[in-house]
Structure 1
Amino acid sequence: MQNLTRHISFPRLLILGASSVIGSSWIYTNGIFFSKYGAGGEIFGFVLAMAITVLASLAFAELSSIFPRSGGPVVYSYLAFGKRWGFATGWAILGAYLSALSFYVTASSMLLATIWPQISQGPGYTIAGAHVSLMELAIGVAFTLFIFALNIRGTRLTAGVQAVLFGGLVILGGALIVTGFSQGSPKNFWPAFATGSDPLLNIVRFVLPAMTFLTGWEVVTILAEEADMPPAKIGKAVVGAIVLAASYYIIVLLASAWVYPWQKTATFEMGSITAFTKAGFPLLGQAAFLIAFLGLFTSFIGLFTAAPRLILSLARAGLLPPRFARLSEKHGTPLNATVLVLLFAIGFGWLGKGAMTYFLDLGGFFVAMAWAITAMSLWRIRRDYPDLNGGFRLHRLWPSMLGGFLAVVIAIGTLYPKSPVALAWPTEYIMLAVWIGLGLLFYWLGRSEHQDNDTALHHLLGDKEYQRLAEVKRQDRKDDD
């Protein structure tokens, strides 16, 4: 089984994780979220979501240091619970990533349409009450093809591109933060909730879309096989990527609410972009727009890099056809898997901007399930292999288990129609059923390719980690005797 090349340094892995999280829509859809939940609902909801995400990530951090292999959560859940759960975990995260990629297919042309409105006009079709012009679709597809071409050349290139783009995000975000807090007023933020609303309920209701906005740090574990560093540092990069990205979201959004009354921002179609312009800083309004565009690039690149490696891992275990485990001879990348991701992204992306909220909500459900399964995988692996230690080891399991439990609660809440985070009936339930149905179909059609457990683990873990696991098993048997 071919292995990927290790060449990603710790700083670049950290940046890959954080930049994969920082997307585009958060800086202009905050007008919508301010209207629905208040500025406090969105900003404090992000704080709560960050806490839940960090707790859930602890299992990923420890397991990635033990098993620094491509596909991350697929490897952990397969070892802990077998092929069905391994497939379910990989398919869930893949669903989350493809939801985000489909979102970006539309978002790329929507951003450009704010400069050239004619892009969104002309012949097209209507989905979910929103008109999608053929020009918008063509731009989104072209943008996706460009990201595809970038990714097939390997993570050495994409990591370098991400580092440059992330530097731009930091500089532009810093300008918004300094100006927002120095020139704004706390009166623009307080009271942070609409009169008569329930602050706690609004915070909780925003957690699901916030978790989708925070999706992407799993890229660190999925790319672990290509990380050139001591395994313990991979675990640190997992947690560091979340804190870095979430803090960026929270502080920039707070600066936006500080510089201009959030109640007025709640009426703007482009949120913070318009808010800074109306506050008398048109150049910073343009900077906010550039943040949206750079964030679109970074998140698109990061998730497009990670998704094929999830498919690669599933194929290594025989849970998808073996052709998806093959690497390009020229670039050493999973070319067939990357092509499949391209087809999925365009195949769902044509649904257009009317489906953007659907993609966000479904992504939140998928990642919540994957986080919960991974937390349980750590508990099971700790029980079965107590001596396995990659250098990043939790002193107590309860924080990780708490994160997994909260993720389960959120996932169940999305399926309960009367909960504040419920999926939209019937569209989002239909989309969820379609993705689950596709997974069951792929799993059933690939039954003849399924490998025995020992062979699958060998392919998933690679020679070094597989031999180490076998040695731990032998030592445990000796201790028992």
Structure 2
Amino acid sequence: MQNLSRHISFPRLLILGASSVIGSSWIYTNGIFFEKYGAGGEIFGFVLATFITILASLSFAELSSIFPRSGGPVVYSYLAFGQKWAFATGWAILGAYLSALSFYVTASSMLLATIFPQMSAGPGYTIAGAHVSLIELAVGVAFTLFIFSLNIRGTKLTAGVQAILFIGLLILGSALVVTGFTQGSPANFWPAFSAGSQPFANVVRFVLPAMTFLTGWEVVTILAEEAAMPPKKIGKAVVGAILLAAGYYIIVLLASAWVYPWHKTATFPMGSITAFTKAGFPLLGTAAYLIAFLGLFTSFIGLFTAAPRLILSLARAGLLPPKFAEISVKRNTPINATILVLAFAIGFGWLGKGAMTYFLDLGGFFVAMAWAITAMALRRTRRDYPTLDGGFRLRHLWPSTLGGLLAVIIAVSTLYPKSPVALAWPTEYIMLAVWIGLGLLFYWLGRSNHQEKDQALHHLLGETEYQRLKKKA
């Protein structure tokens, strides 16, 4: 099967990973989360989620240096556990990415509606208590088609666009941070929890949505086949992307709680955007708005780039129809897989902004499962191929195993109705069942294409990596 070309440098791969994590909603939904969990619940919840994420990422980092192939986790889980687990892993991460992409379809118009409120008026429909006008939907679909048009031109273009947008995010974020900490006061942040609340419980409750906000660094491993660098640097880019994105989240959110009393920000529908304006810095309110818009672009582009590569790898292994493994000769892009992602994003995106929390929660469940499976895959790979070494090798496996275990606990907790991170009944359970049902349908329909393990690994790994694996067997 045709391979994707290697042309992404280390800085651009790092930026692709970090910018895919930094989305848009976090900068204005912090008003909602401040009200629900307190500023401390969101900010310290981010810290805890970052710790779990880094532990979970260590298995991805080592395996991506050993197997720098498109689809990353699909490859690792197929080698370790076979086709069923490989499909489950790929479908889980795809579900997380499509959850975010579906939200972004109408998030773009929601941001524009703060400037042009007439967009929200007119005929439409209501889902989860939120009205979606037909104009908003049309704008969101047009925005999605624009992102699609960028992606079908290949990662060389999208990586360049991401780099420019990420520099913009850094400049705007620095302005908020410097002003927030020099002009604000710790009294605006502390006490960080509402009176009578349960601080620890609030921190834990925010971990699930925080893990969804932190989703996207897996892009580094999914795009590994297109990375032009020594394999060990891919592992470093995995961890570096998380640290860069999580640090950005935490320090900007803390600055917004520093510059204006967080309990007042908790009453604002646009969170930090309004907080900086109310604090007397309207230009920085605009800067926060631009961060939301740039973050929407970067995350949308990054996840839209990675999702087709997951589909590509599943098709290479015969777990999806072979047409999704086809690569455009002209663009060196999995064109059919990219079209399928477009169909999924628009197909779910019409649910609108009222489904935002649903998408966040489901995304957290999906990534937790994928992280856990990949941690187990590393242990199995170390056992079966003890001498495989791509340059990024963990001295001990317990940190990555702990990350996988914590991810499992979080994922299972979402299914327990009385858990503080439980999915919302019945809507989120129905959405989860629909995605699992679609996965089972695709798996069943594609059973005639399922391959023997050796053949599938040959297609997943490519000739060079496959021969290296056989020598180590």
Q: TM-score surpassing 0.5?
A: yes
For residues 330 and 114 of structure 1, the distance between their equivalents in structure 2, rounded to whole angstroms, comes to: 40
Which shifted more, 352-361 or 234-243? 352-361
For residues 300 and 379 of structure 2, the distance between their equivalents in structure 1, rounded to whole angstroms, comes to: 32
For residues 274 and 35 of structure 1, the distance between their equivalents in structure 2, rounded to whole angstroms, comes to: 15
For residues 399 and 91 of structure 2, the distance between their equivalents in structure 1, rounded to whole angstroms, comes to: 25
Q: Deviations over 1:52-77 (max 9, x none)?
A: 00000000000000000000000000
Aligned to 1:61: 61
TM-score of the two chains, using structure 2 as the length reference: 1.00
- Deviation of 1:274 (Å): 0.2
Q: Deviations over 1:124-170 (max 9, x none)?
A: 11111111100000000000000000000000000000000000000
Tell whether 2:211 aligns with 1:208.
no
Tell whether 2:374 aligns with 1:366.
no
Q: Deviations over 1:248-298 (max 9, x none)?
A: 000000000000000000000000000000000000000000000000000
Aligned to 2:19: 19
Aligned counterparts, 1:251-270, within 5 A: 251-270=251-270
Aligned to 1:330: 330
Tell whether 2:347 aligns with 1:351.
no
- Deviation of 1:80 (Å): 0.1
Q: Where in structure 1 do 4 or more consecutive aligned residues deviate above 3 Å? A: none
Instruction: Provide the alpha-carbon RMSD of the alignment.
Output: 0.3
- Deviation of 1:329 (Å): 1.7
The amino acid across from 1:340 in the alignment is L
Aligned to 2:219: 219
The amino acid across from 1:121 in the alignment is A
The amino acid across from 2:213 in the alignment is F
Aligned counterparts, 1:111-190, within 5 A: 111-190=111-190
The amino acid across from 1:303 in the alignment is L
- Deviation of 1:368 (Å): 0.2
Tell whether 2:314 aligns with 1:314.
yes
Q: Deviations over 1:191-243 (max 9, x none)?
A: 00000111100000000000000000000000000000000000000000000
Unaligned runs of 5+ in 2: none
Aligned counterparts, 1:387-402, within 5 A: 387-402=387-402
Q: Percent of counterpart pairs with the same letter?
A: 86
SS of the residue 1:71 aligns to: coil
The amino acid across from 2:435 in the alignment is W
Aligned counterparts, 1:88-103, within 5 A: 88-103=88-103
SS of the residue 2:126 aligns to: strand
For residues 287 and 274 of structure 1, the distance between their equivalents in structure 2, rounded to whole angstroms, comes to: 11
The amino acid across from 1:95 in the alignment is G
Aligned to 2:33: 33
- Deviation of 1:187 (Å): 0.2
- Deviation of 1:177 (Å): 0.2
Tell whether 2:300 aligns with 1:290.
no
For residues 84 and 231 of structure 2, the distance between their equivalents in structure 1, rounded to whole angstroms, comes to: 27
- Deviation of 1:6 (Å): 0.1
Aligned to 1:477: none
Aligned to 1:450: 450
Aligned to 1:434: 434
- Deviation of 1:330 (Å): 1.2
Q: Deviations over 1:24-63 (max 9, x none)?
A: 0000000000000000000000000000000000000000
For residues 463 and 97 of structure 2, the distance between their equivalents in structure 1, rounded to whole angstroms, comes to: 29
Aligned to 2:422: 422
SS of the residue 2:132 aligns to: strand
The amino acid across from 2:37 in the alignment is Y
Q: Deviations over 1:285-331 (max 9, x none)?
A: 00000000000000000000000000000000000000000011210
Aligned to 1:245: 245
For residues 425 and 171 of structure 2, the distance between their equivalents in structure 1, rounded to whole angstroms, comes to: 41
- Deviation of 1:427 (Å): 0.2
- Deviation of 1:106 (Å): 1.2
How many residue pairs match? The answer is 473
Aligned to 1:43: 43
- Deviation of 1:354 (Å): 1.0
For residues 197 and 189 of structure 2, the distance between their equivalents in structure 1, rounded to whole angstroms, comes to: 16
Aligned to 1:380: 380
SS of the residue 1:28 aligns to: helix
Tell whether 2:294 aligns with 1:304.
no
Tell whether 2:397 aligns with 1:403.
no
Q: Deviations over 1:406-457 (max 9, x none)?
A: 0000000100000000000000000000000000000001000001110000
Aligned to 2:281: 281
Aligned to 1:52: 52
SS of the residue 1:126 aligns to: strand
For residues 188 and 131 of structure 2, the distance between their equivalents in structure 1, rounded to whole angstroms, comes to: 35
The amino acid across from 1:461 in the alignment is L
For residues 330 and 158 of structure 2, the distance between their equivalents in structure 1, rounded to whole angstroms, comes to: 16
SS of the residue 1:29 aligns to: helix
Aligned counterparts, 1:101-112, within 5 A: 101-112=101-112
For residues 75 and 106 of structure 1, the distance between their equivalents in structure 2, rounded to whole angstroms, comes to: 33
